[in-house]
Amino acid sequence: MEKVIRSPLILIVSLFLMTIMLWSVYYGAFSNVFESVLLFVLIIALSTFLFLILFHNKRNPERKISWKSWTPYELKEEDEGQQWVTYRATRKVYIFFYFAIPAGLMVVAVFRHIEFMPLVVLFVLGTTQYGIYWHESRKYLNDREEV
């Protein structure tokens, strides 16, 4: 359960749904029915996510996931080993943004005639960030117990 809550894949899907929603609302790309369905899906997804945290905290009182923390849920920092994994993964994400932000600015400027381009660029930056973090942390933490 904790794996699901902390999976950046959840964030990628949420970002996708949010982008489609904003695309539909502000650019009129889809029908009102589609918007309502999407809003319903978003509410269900958010409720499920919050319920999973509640359920996890009840089952694991010693490993509670904080509601109040500003630290993203996917960052595992329970001990020094996991802090090191977070360091490795966030370092890679920083390197990505170091190059991706100037590139993104150029794409937005060059394709300024495509009005939803900023939305697309932000979606790509966001999903790539989550993807890099997920791939890097999985590389270190996705092992099986050795007896």
**Smallest gap, in angstroms, from Cβ of residue 134 to other proteins?**
15
Contact call for residue 62 and other proteins (CB under 8 A): no
Q: Is 73 in the site for other proteins (CB under 8 A)?
A: no
Q: Does 81 bind other proteins (CB under 8 A)?
A: yes
Query: Long-range contacts made by residues 72-77, C-beta under 8 angstroms, separation at least 24?
Result: 73/5, 73/6, 74/6, 74/7, 74/8, 74/11, 74/130, 74/133, 74/134, 74/137, 76/6, 76/137, 76/141
Which of 8-16, 54-62, 67-75, 78-86 is the region at the interface with other proteins (rule: CB under 8 A)?
78-86
Nearer to other proteins, 61 or 80 (CB): 80
Residue whose CB is less far from other proteins, 97 or 138: 138
Among 80, 111, 114, 116, binds other proteins (CB under 8 A): 80
From 82, 90, 127, 128, residue interacting with other proteins (rule: CB under 8 A)? 82
Residues that bind other proteins (CB under 8 A): 78-82, 84-85, 140-141, 143, 145-147
